[in-house]
Structure 1
Amino acid sequence: MAPPHGDIAHLGHVELLTPDLDASLRFFTDYLGLTVNGSQGASVYLRTWDDYEHHSLVLTAHETSGLRRTALRASSQEALRRRAGELEVAGHEGRWTEDEPGLGPLYVTTDPDGHEVALYWESEWYRAPDELRPGLKNQPQAKPGHGVGVRRLDHVNYLAADVAAGADFHQRLLGARPTEQIRLDVGRITAKWLTYTNKSYDVVYSEDRTGSRGRLHHVAFATDTREDILRAADLALDTGVFIETGPHKHAIQQTFFLYVYEPGGNRVELCNPLTRLVLAPDWPLITWTEAERAKGQAWGLKTIESFHTHGTPPLDQAKDG
């Protein structure tokens, strides 16, 4: 595919801010089953068992919650330079930095809503220590014997004051393909799903009804099976993890889901979208109407009100920021 399509290979990792680093760390290691792979200053680096890179998630101690960075791996050094150049021409000037272990230079900029986006190419492939060595050589790490055992980071859902502008940033400047969207009767697009891969989505923009900028709706981790989602709900019940909604099935994208809050306040989705791939190069953009969305999720569960109101950082702290 001609640039920009194909210049971004996949979603690499995200950095979450938390006002309670110890409790958040226990959530991601004990409940989700991620592995710690180093720390630096106020940040801890964690990885899912099927990720080939140094880390899938950065947890950073901060006075509030929220999303600091989304990192996307380019498909080559040339693609990285090309995207950085196009971003600067389009007015999204950034900076070059090498501030994460296991990675080379990152070009850090922001989307129209103020979310930090970093692009990189050089990446250190993970080599498991003896105690985490898998039985199969084509698997980066042994599966965890505790917690949910999520397989990989799946997607990030941004809250945005202007969904169309955010989605256009990823589509026009970075090469993502839109797959589904919600359009209100007045014509406004209030949510859009985009993909860089053959997954049905990697990034999502949802309208922040408060008009705030730069907030997070959720980050999502994929499981092997639907049954893992059900087990995750039981584990949440047993360990005091707050369940917001689910388990259930989304109508949009058909993802089987469970939404929980980690102790820092960030919403985390556990999802199983592994059976739905976008293989057609001419995949049509699917639009959902206001009336269709009013029906709720795939099997009739109504969308919970907090799904439209909860985001991080909290509103008072978002305004202060």
Structure 2
Amino acid sequence: MNALLHDVAHLGHVELLTPRPERSLWFFTEILGMTAAGQDGDSVHLRTYDDYEHHSLTLTAHHTSGIRATGLRASSQEALDRRVLAIKDAGLGLGWRDGEPGRGPTYAFHDPDGHELRLYWESEWYEAPEELRPALKNQPQAFPGHGVGVRRLDHVNFLAAEAAANGAFVRDVLGARVTEQIMLDSGRIAAQWLHFGNKSYDLVYTDDRSGSSGRLHHLAFATNSREDILRAADICLENDVFIETGPHKHAIQQTFFLYVYEPGGNRVELCNPLTRLILAPDWRTITWTEAERAKGQAWGLQTIASFHTHGTPPVTPA
């Protein structure tokens, strides 16, 4: 068991690539209920109503789908400096970059699998314009009142050639902790769920069965309640958004879920993990076996086959 360093505060934002930018923008604004906060060239910055920062999703037009970068906010300038030194020592640094809108100097690096991550401290707190000003002063923005009304970017699930090696990097270099994992009968760790604070997970690494590197399994947005996910399923059905699996409840992490594909092909999870927190300072990693995973999800729904084959960008079978 390793202790949390708390040098990384939380998952901050994701840059998502899409070959269908107009339809993807429609999905995130009209179906999920996110708000556009600005545009830079082929990129649109989007926010959930409970983002205290400028945005949590950048949607960028590209020739294919996938994830370009994942931003993490440090807990202080000193914490940022410590983690940058650790990343450099690990030989995975890419260097300093100017921050995105609302963010200061950002250090770019990659995990062992090649996913780009960005670490920053300086962040401008969002000030809602008059038309989006909330009635409650402790809420950054008024509830959107349309679409699903997602509350926050919750987690990112990366596909990786070796989940364990990447989990070890996030644990040992960034100071996270593994809350749950899957161990195959061979002893191989096939997936790990890691957290930086009291949330039960912020980043997930899952073995990529294609043998590829640097791909995305899904990104997830949290809703206010489980009922919002049931309503989201109806909204997606009415608008011809492809529902892959759910609504249902995961056994691992106990998250209530719905998985859909946004028009660009990226998998998006709508989830409700808001009631499950990790408060124990001496949390012991929960390990799931192959036999336990074969039982399916919490209430018996079998894991759909595409969950093990679909990732972005797509790969051509060998």
Give the TM-score range, shorter chain.
Answer: over 0.9
List aligned pairs for 1:44-123, cutoff 5 A.
Answer: 44-123=44-123
Q: Which residue of 2 aligns with 1:275?
A: 275
Q: What is the alpha-carbon distance in structure 1 between the residues aligned to residue 3 and residue 270 of structure 2?
A: 32
Q: Work out the CA distance in 2 between the residues paired with 1:76 and 1:288.
A: 35
Question: Which secondary structure state, in structure 1, belongs to the residue aligned with residue 252 of structure 2?
Answer: coil
Q: Residue 306 of structure 1 aligns with which residue?
A: 306
Q: Which residue of 2 aligns with 1:206?
A: 206
Q: How far apart are residue 3 of structure 1 and its match?
A: 9.1
The superposition leaves residues 122-176 of structure 1 with CA deviations (integer Å, 9 ceiling, x where unpaired) of 0010000010000100000000110000000000000000111110111000011
Aligned partners of 2:140, 2:166: CA distance in 1, in Å?
33
Per-residue Cα deviation, 1:168-224 (whole angstroms, up to 9, x for no partner):
111000011110000000000000000011011000000101110000000000000
Distance between the aligned counterparts of 1:82 and 1:41, measured in 2? 33
The within-5 A match list for 1:227-238 is 227-238=227-238
The corresponding residue for 2:140 is 140
- Contact preservation (8 Å) 2:3, 2:281: no
Deviant stretches of 4+, over 4 Å: none
The CA distance in 2 between the partners of 1:283 and 1:186, in whole Å, is 25
Note the 1:22-41 alignment, pairs <5 A: 22-41=22-41
Letter in 1 for 2:48: T
Q: In terms of mean alpha carbon deviation, does 128-137 or 87-96 score higher?
A: 87-96
**Aligned amino acid, residue 183 of structure 1:** M
Equivalents in 2 of 1:121, 1:3: separation in Å? 22
Secondary structure of 2:155 counterpart: strand
Cα 1:78–1:283 shift into 2, 3 Å: same
Shift of 1:36: 0.1
Task: Answer yes or no: is the 8 Å Cα contact 1:4–1:83 preserved in 2.
Answer: no
Q: Do the aligned partners of residues 108 and 3 (structure 1) sit closer, same or farther apart at CA in structure 2, a change above 3 Å counting? A: farther
Q: State the identity as a percent.
A: 71
CA distance in 1, matches of 2:119, 2:232: 32
Kindly state the Cα deviation for residue 94 of structure 1 after the two structures are TM-superposed.
Answer: 1.7
SS in 2 for 1:94: strand
TM-score scaled to structure 1, two decimals? 0.97
- The question of whether the paired residues in 2 share the 8 Å contact of 1:223 and 1:270 is answered with yes
Q: Could you say which residue in structure 2 is the equivalent of 1:6?
A: 6
RMSD: 1.3
**Where does the alignment leave 5 or more consecutive residues of structure 1 unmatched?**
none
For residue 74 of structure 1, report the CA deviation from its aligned partner. 0.2
- Which structure 2 residues correspond to residues 168-317 of structure 1 after superposition, within 5 A? 168-316=168-316
Letter in 1 for 2:191: A
Q: How far did 1:287 drift?
A: 0.2
Does 2:36 match 1:18?
A: no
Counterpart code for 2:185: D
Q: Which residue type is aligned with residue 222 of structure 2?
A: A
In 1, the alpha carbon distance for the partners of 2:101 and 2:51 equals: 15
The Cα of 1:29 is off from its aligned counterpart by: 0.1
C-alpha distance in 1, partners of 2:297/2:201?
18
Question: What's the secondary structure of 2:178's corresponding residue?
Answer: strand
The Cα of 1:81 is off from its aligned counterpart by 1.1
| Partners of 2:178 and 2:141 in 1: CA distance | 32
Q: After TM superposition, give the deviation of residue 93 of structure 1 in Å.
A: 2.1
CA contact (8 A) 1:4 1:173 kept: no
SS of residue matched to 1:157: strand
Give the direction of change, closer, same or farther, for the CA distance of 1:294–1:4 in structure 2 (3 Å limit): closer
TM-score normalized with structure 2 length: 0.98
Unmatched 5+ residue regions in structure 2? Answer: none
Q: Note closer, same or farther for the CA distance 1:178–1:227 as it changes in structure 2 (3 Å cut).
A: same
Distance 1:58 1:168 in 2: 27
Q: Contact conserved, 1:6 with 1:196, CA < 8 A, in 2?
A: yes
Is the 8 Å Cα contact of residues 97 and 107 (structure 2) preserved in structure 1? yes
1:61-108 CA-to-partner distances (Å, cap 9, x unmatched) read 000000000000000111111111111011112210114111101100
Partner of 1:315: helix, strand, or coil?
coil
CA distance in 2, matches of 1:278, 1:153: 18
Aligned-partner residue type, residue 284 of structure 2 = P
Aligned partners of 1:71, 1:93: CA distance in 2, in Å? Answer: 14
Question: Which residue identity lines up with residue 29 of structure 1 in the other structure?
Answer: T
